[in-house]
Chains A and B, each alone.
Chain A
């Protein structure tokens, strides 16, 4: 058991070091090496932070959903393994909130610089805000619910949130706002006018990689923290039970 956690610890540290290196290189590319854009000049460089975090904030909810499903599947059959799934779920939810917060804040800064307004109620912004709100409500449920029930209730809420996300997409993007949006059209896979200069692509790719690695590092740290908390909780519960079993001589 000790050996296994040692190996994980070493792998984890190596990953973190690689992540920091990747982020440092990506930051250098984004701020200094990538070519300056025509219309917005240096303000455009926030693109290298805003777009990767937005893309990644759409990925971690799925991690939360899948691990919640595993939790619900295992919670009766194999409770100890179910706890690992729950630890992944809470870690992924927190990383989602962090990344969507960064996406909203960087978007607001860029919007203020580019459009003159901090916020606009259009399809993409509203969807991102709703994602943020949904996962904050998940974290609030975890905080407010009573101890024995937290994991199951949170897993159920995660299923509901996963059901909600496509409906939010349909209702906001397709029905309410239609095609019109103030937010820039997709750079990748957009219409014939979209597309990115190859020199910028290099910086963008490294930033996606760097921030993805960072998200995984955060997930790993939070997972480790949650596992340790679970184990200490189990140890103290066991101690309490054994204490109550002591026969008074």
Chain B
């Protein structure tokens, strides 16, 4: 329990807005830091809303272009909709990921972060969670559009999409946030992110597309793909958390 201390300066510190994220000794807890970073990103995005709007429109354009390319019947559309959905989300997330780090470069915020005692991976995790929320929001908006444009109706177990979507989104967002951070001081940053991210993500992309197609067509089991995706997420989330500090202090 955090008791309110007697003297005025300590009491001022105790009533600080972020006090509840601190432990008994006043040091910020890890998840307290993550929550701080998450709040910051959500607040910044809410104020400008450029990232989400950009992503949404981009994803919609990709869906439209693919529908021009294929003009599918209902049966064929079930085969390809899984692939198109994830391609649209992948391209949409590229736009958001680079921008999420641009925020950190203004006002030398990253230098302040490096000087603070807060754990660096908490910054990564907070930002990855924020990006996850943004992309999930895009998915919620996009899903009805997909069903409408492609006359979709899942022949397999539809509820499995509630498992596949978060797993797949996290795979893209976690690695994406990490690689976007790698590109912070790179020339041609926007070019580099897809070139680096896509090769590493190919197994995950394969998993999410195959699992989605399995659910939509009902022709094969999504189980192995979901397990592979979960394994991928565990392995790469661990790697990202452990290596983030190396990347941020790379010079």
Contact = CB atoms under 8 A, between A and B. Distances in A.
Interface in B4-41: none
Pick from A149, A159, A168, A171 the residue with the most CB of B within 10 Å.
Answer: A171
B87 to A, nearest CB: 17
A93 B154 CA distance: 44
Nearest to A152: B250
Contact of B192 (A140, A164, A167, A176): A140
Interface in A16-70: none
A164 B196 CA distance: 13
Contact of B206 (A133, A163, A176): A176
A145 B200 contact: no
Q: Is the interface of B mostly helix, strand, loop or mixed?
A: helix
Contact of A171 (B182, B192, B228): B228
Interface string B163-189: 000000000000100000011011110
Contact of B196 (A130, A137, A170): A137
Given A130-B202, A149-B185, A171 B246 contact: no
Contact of B239 (A134, A137, A148, A163): A163
Interface in B215-246: 224-225, 228, 231-232, 235-236, 239, 243, 246
Nearest to B201: A164
Interface of A: 72, 130, 133-134, 136-137, 140-141, 144-146, 148-149, 152-153, 156-157, 159-161, 163-164, 167-168, 170-172, 175-176
A171 B186 contact: no
Contacts of B207: 171
Given A72-B246, A167-B228, A171-B228, A156 B182 contact: yes
A100 B26 CA distance: 55
A144 B188 contact: yes
A133 B202 CA distance: 10
A170 B202 contact: no
Contact of B247 (A134, A140, A153, A175): A153
A145 B193 CA distance: 11
Contacts of A136: 199
A159 B243 contact: yes
A167 B195 CA distance: 19
Contact of A175 (B185, B188, B224, B235): B224
Interface residues of B, number: 32
B228 A152 contact: no
A149 B203 CA distance: 27
B235 A163 contact: yes
Contact of B200 (A134, A172, A175, A176): A134
A144 B236 contact: no
A170 B228 CA distance: 8
Nearest to A146: B185
B189 to A, nearest CB: 8
B147 interface: no
A108 B195 CA distance: 25
B186 A163 contact: no
Given A133-B199, A145-B186, A163-B239, A176 B210 contact: yes
A144 B250 CA distance: 15
Contact of A130 (B191, B199, B239): B199
Nearest to A141: B196
A133 B203 CA distance: 13
B251 interface: yes
Q: Which 3 A-B pairs have the closest CB atoms?
A: A152-B250, A149-B250, A171-B203
Given A144-B186, A153-B182, A157-B196, A167 B203 contact: yes
Contacts of B232: 167
B86 to A, nearest CB: 15
Nearest to A145: B186
B67 to A, nearest CB: 24
A68 B246 CA distance: 13
Nearest to A157: B196
